[in-house]
Chain A
Amino acid sequence: MAETLILNAAEIQRALTRIAHEIAERDEAGSEVVLVGIQRGGVPLARRLSGLLSGIWGQPIPTGQLDVSMHRDDLDQRVAPDVQPTVIPFDVTGKTVVLVDDVLFSGRTIRAAMDSLNDFGRPRRIQLAVLIDRGHRELPIKADFVGKNVPTAHTESVQARLSDFGGSDEVVLEKK
């Protein structure tokens, strides 16, 4: 299987820093912005963004994690979904929720995440930040903040190997 490096560790860090500044520019500082990482890749990214953003705004940014497997529309086509914890230790009602994920592909995960968020309250608005947008959307969903746009073929796969899961903090394109 051939691999192409898309982002190295320094580039990931730069992309996140830029996204943090874009969030700070777009949204008002204050307690009204919260970050929610989508399991699993989005969770460490949300944590890193939260650190960067609290540095910019000088205050802690509430950060949660969301597992969407119970809201997916392809449950009976998948074997043994690996359900990770959902932890949202704040009320999302009235907040600007920035969903964070590693790779945006079909958009189905994001739809499931928005459905799932509704069970926790009614956010004022939901925004989406992703490290990689690889195209091939199957739903009318668009990211508000993108680390890098990567044109891909349907048969390829984009892997974000984050150090939190034992990777070396890189994003690669795998050709099958």
Chain B
Amino acid sequence: MSWNRKHLLDIESLTAEEIFTVLDTARAFKAVGARAIKKVPALRGKTVVNLFIEPSTRTRISFELSEQRLSADIINFTAEASSLKKGETLKDTVRNLEALNVDFIVIRHSASGVPHFLARVLDASVINAGDGAHEHPTQALLDLFTIRERKGRIEGLKVTILGDVVYSRVARSDIWALTKLGAQVTLCGPSTLVPRVFEQMGCRVTYDVDEAIREADIINLLRIQHERQRKTMFPSLGEYTSLFGLNQARLARTKPDALIMHPGPINRGVEIDSEIADCNRSLILEQVTNGLAVRMAVLFLVNGGKGPQEVAQA
């Protein structure tokens, strides 16, 4: 077991061994979720602030429930109902929170790098719940957990990420995590949304959907992130659906054991056909279930981590 981090800021800086530590720990927490009493006292007496400066339902609820299952005290905080509206800077807001002796800050923000900034100015542990188009580490970890649970391994698998890659923090975290563990990642989508520069992260880029999914073990679909696109990136949603949407005809050309993933929220009839989202090859709801176990594991591990400055093995 290897983990001595006080924060979880990104996947990029993690080692393969650290990723496996989270996945193994999450397995134990998934078993806790199946018990009659689903709560353990691991974070009793600790305070967690969920600071969501950008809308989120899935991730926020998942974090809240994981914190409750670990017996932590919780403060929820959204941009609309806070002094950020009155002109307070983010730094002042979090320093005020810290003055209340909080132990963990779970941060979602529309700007990349905010969690790293907070980790520099605060004593509390910082967990990145998604920063701009940069990273969404817990999503990547739950994706890996789900893949490993279903396929028994990560190494050597062919994973295709299809859709709006350039605006997706999930895609970046997934690419880092998958390539670190030895999966072969293929990216596909409109060329405006999947620039060739991603080849530098160690993946293959193709614009031919049928070729991208033919050999894939896992097909991970991404939503079009309209809120981040500052200009029109493709002619129309209808065209996107007909060229890149996953429909029955395309699914029929994939390997019979290829599995479908999606970080949510899904847009039925755009990137995925409604029946495919509900079919037995879709892992979309399993991902949500596993997210809880993975976030419990992250909070649990970060609680014991002392940070790279004070590495001391117990």
Contacts and interface: CB of A to CB of B under 8 A. Distances in A.
Interface in B269-314: 300-301, 303-306, 312-314
Contact of A80 (B4, B32, B39): B4
A85 B35 CA distance: 13
A9 interface: no
A92 to B, nearest CB: 11
Contact of B312 (A70, A79, A86): A79
Given A71-B40, A85-B27, A80 B304 contact: yes
Chain B contact residues (Cβ within 8 angstroms of A): what range?
A: 20 to 34
B40 A76 contact: no
Given A67-B28, A75-B303, 14 more contacts: A69-B42, A70-B28, A71-B40, A71-B41, A78-B304, A79-B3, A79-B313, A80-B3, A81-B300, A83-B28, A83-B300, A85-B27, A115-B41, A120-B36
A85 to B, nearest CB: 6
B21 interface: yes
B4 A84 contact: no
Question: Which label, helix, strand, loop or mixed, suits the secondary structure of the A interface?
Answer: loop
Nearest to B35: A119
Contacts of A76: 303-304
A80 B313 CA distance: 9
Question: Which label, helix, strand, loop or mixed, suits the secondary structure of the B interface?
Answer: loop
Interface residues of A, number: 21
Given A70-B32, A83-B25, A84-B28, A78 B314 contact: yes
B31 interface: yes
A77 interface: yes
A76 B29 CA distance: 18
A80 B301 contact: yes
A138 interface: no
Q: Sort A-B residue pairs by CB-CB distance and give the 4 closest, nearest first.
A: A80-B3, A70-B40, A83-B28, A119-B37
Nearest to B70: A70
Contacts of B123: none
A118 to B, nearest CB: 8
A76 to B, nearest CB: 6
Residue among A70, A75, A77, A119 having the largest count of chain B Cβ atoms under 10 Å: A70
Nearest to A121: B36
